[in-house]
Amino acid sequence: MRYIEPHGHMVSRVTDDYEAMVLAGCRAVCEPAFWAGYDRSGPEGFYDYFCQLTDYEPKRAAKFGLPHFTWLCINPKESEDTKLAEEVIALIPQFLDRPNVLGIGEIGLNKNTRNELQILERHIDLAARHDQLILVHTPHLEDKHKGTRLILDAIKADSRIQPGRVIIDHVEEHTIAMVLDAGFWAGITLYPESKTTPARAIDMYEVYGGQRVWLNSACDWGRSDPLAVPKTAVEMRRRGHADETVDQLVFQNPIRFLAQNPRFTVR
């Protein structure tokens, strides 16, 4: 088996996870910038984090021969403080030329506030001005449906952004159709409790089609499983999906989206 992990927060995982992922067939890992589990005290904390994502973490992955890519932004959980968010956004352009940076992400909304929306629009503008791909985080649980609508409206309102260059992540049964119908890519996140199980992810793939869909583990410091994607591939085979179909979903699809940035290459 071969697969791409298009969304993993490796800074919060142990080195053994890299080894396990490579043994399971992982050919590249992509790490969006996210919330650390606590609020950083100022923009310097984000500067250091961006250095970690663009310098230290790719070296850690390289020890296992695993290409490591990243996405930069200030996450929506810390975007309620718009002054801090503006300062962090001003730091990002100097990192966009680093060789493992794929785009702006994971941006989006958390509690669907006006401030979060304002900072989302600033990130969309940043991506448009620098011709960057976009990776979007949709809110959790009861906030997801409303937040996904607000996010789609905000992106559609900027005519410089092509939907095919945007992935809306963490879709579930009540949001996937609106994402795909609007021409965006959809990410399905496999979590033990919230988000989706392997069985539900495959249901969505079967019902809504898999042309613009990827799977990810979004593994981080919470309950999550860095091997969720290959485990779902095994589940697909149990359901009778052909090896080629599985390969398309877990390997070829993420490459098709990510390779829109020529920096993304897989051996």
Partner 1 sequence: MTRQQILDLYFMDARSKLIDIAAFLDRVDRGEGEPDFRLDAFRKALAELHRGEPVRAKSVLMSLSDPTVEPIAKAPGKGAVGAWEMTKSE
The nearer residue to partner 1, 70 or 196, going by C-beta atoms, is: 196
The number of residues that bind partner 1 (CB under 8 A) is 30
**By CB under 8 A, residue 156 contacts partner 1:** no
Contacts of 94 (CB under 8 A, 6+ apart): none
Return d(Cα 202, Cα 141) in angstroms, integer: 20
Give the H/E segment covering residue 134. Answer: strand 133-137
Stretch that binds partner 1, among 97-105, 114-122, 127-135, 208-216 (CB under 8 A): 114-122
> Which residue in 164, 227, 166, 239 sits closest to 200, CA to CA?
239
**By CB under 8 A, residue 144 contacts partner 1:** yes
Return d(Cα 54, Cα 59) in angstroms, integer: 9
Binding track over 203-242 against partner 1, x by CB under 8 A? x----------------------------------xxx--
Cβ atoms of 221 and 265 closer than 8 Å: no
Stretch that binds Zn ion, among 74-82, 201-209, 218-226, 246-254 (CB under 5 A): 218-226
Among 2, 40, 98, 146, binds partner 1 (CB under 8 A): 146
Q: Do you know the residue count of the chain? A: 267
Among 127, 172, 180, 253, binds partner 1 (CB under 8 A): 172
Question: Strands of 166-169's sheet, edge to edge?
Answer: 3-5, 26-32, 68-72, 101-108, 133-137, 166-169, 185-189, 213-216
**By CB under 8 A, residue 254 contacts partner 1:** no
Residue 140: which of partner 1, Zn ion, none does it interact with, CB under 5 to 8 A by kind?
partner 1
Which residues of the chain form contacts with partner 1 (CB under 8 A)? 77, 80, 110-117, 139-146, 149-150, 172-174, 194, 199-200, 203, 238-240
